[in-house]
Amino acid sequence: MNEGYKNKEEDHSKIKNDCIVMLTFLVFIIFLYRNSLWELFIFSEYNNISKGLYSYIFFIPFISGYFIFQKWEKIFKNNQNSQKDFFISSLFFVLGILPLLFKENLSGLLNKNDYLFTQTIGWIFCMIGAFTFSFGRKAVKEAVFPLGLLFFMAPIPFFILERYIYFLQHFSVDTSYLILKILNIPVLQRDTILQLPNFTMEVADECSGIRSSIVLWLTGVLACYIFLKSNFMRLLLLFSVTPIAIFKNSLRIVTLGILASYVDPIYITNHWIHRSGGILFFVVTLFFIFFPFIFFLKRIERFLLKNKEK
């Protein structure tokens, strides 16, 4: 019994020492990337694409840390370091330092969005390298989701973001046109312009719903991890994110269009529903469409699991 207690004390002591090593690395890596992280913070709130597009970024480390803490015992059980772990961690450190070494070159070649993408990816690679060095690859395997979640901190490469915005914008307009037709409201569509009886509106890039779509993606990834076990159900949920985002944005466009056409144009020209109403529609979509769909998939998953056990 004394021997078991001694082994337990040794394990706790090792975990404590490993945590001190990780904390030291964390402070050092943040210091190295301090300028890039500060630029990322400024950019996340005040970027040229859409103000507040990446405002969720600095919540990600806290969410990741929560999931690591939640799986504390599994992650740090038998966390034996080896020569192989040292090689893997060194590889991540090298990949992480490269964007920092070529910082000036990348800053001149890339736009702000893509430049910060490279710097953030470098910082994340260094963090994974530090985690591997401190706790070993077995711990990394257990913490693969929380560590992978850190990649949401990186701004989306502009060529992907631009195409996704275009996709959301045009499909939102097409869906809005279809909904208005179903509601028997006279409407004409020309590209991203909808002409209603008393008002003509254009759905601009800023009205594509890109901000809520990204948050919906993040919510979907978290929901997959928390609620679903089957990879097939997880894929179904993730595939549903974009259609739900388009439907949510279309409801907003249709609502604004009807109000502007039949009540008062001020609902589009100068009203809080246009300026900040996206949050309201996002919350409604989340609680009345997205969450019910998650629990629907969860019930199917449980039903299939029970049948499999029989």
d(CA 46, CA 184): 41
* Contact present, 252 and 281 (Cβ < 8 Å): yes
Q: How many C-alpha atoms does 8 have within 13 Å on its Cβ side?
A: 6
Tokens of 111: 């736009």
**Pair 153, 233: CB distance under 8 Å:** no
- What is the rounded CA–CA span in Å between residue 69 and residue 43? 29
Taking CA atoms, 235 is separated from 202, 214, 223, 293, in Å, by 34, 17, 11, 13
Cβ atoms 209, 172 nearer than 8 A:
yes
pTM: 0.88
Which helix (H) or strand (E) covers residue 189, if one does?
A: strand 188-190
Give the three-state DSSP class for 301: helix
Which candidate, 189, 194, 188, 222, places its Cα nearest to that of 207? 194
Edge-to-edge strands, sheet with 193-196: 188-190, 193-196, 199-202
Q: What amino acid is encoded at 124 in this protein?
A: I
Separation between Cα atoms, residue 285 and residue 183, nearest integer Å: 20
Q: Quick one: pLDDT at residue 7?
A: 52
Q: What is the pLDDT of residue 5?
A: 47
Give the dihedral of Cα atoms 38, 44, 46, 50; nearest 10 deg: 160
Going residue by residue through the chain (310 aa), what tens digit of pLDDT does each one get? 455 545 555 566 777 888 899 999 999 999 999 999 999 988 887 765 555 688 889 899 999 999 998 888 777 775 666 656 888 999 999 999 999 999 999 999 999 999 999 999 999 999 999 999 988 888 898 899 999 999 999 999 999 999 999 999 999 999 999 999 999 999 999 999 999 988 889 888 888 889 889 999 999 999 999 999 999 999 999 999 999 999 999 999 999 999 988 888 887 877 777 777 778 888 999 999 999 999 999 999 998 888 776 6
Q: How many CB atoms lie within 10 A of CB 208?
A: 25
* C-alpha span between 267 and 275 (Å, rounded): 9
Residue 205 confidence (pLDDT):
83
What's the rounded Cα separation, in Å, for the pair 310 and 297? Answer: 20
Check residue 309 and give its pLDDT. Answer: 67
One-letter amino acid of 130:
A
With contact defined as beta carbons under 8 Å apart, do 101 and 139 qualify? no
Residue whose token pair is 């082994």: 7
Amino acid at 304: L
Query: How many Cβ atoms from other residues are within 10 Å of residue 169's Cβ?
Result: 22
For position 4, what pLDDT does the model report? 52
Domain boundaries, the chain: 2-154, 160-309
Q: Which residue has the tokens 């997959």?
A: 224
Residue type, 187: V
Residue 193 is inside which H or E element, if any?
strand 193-196
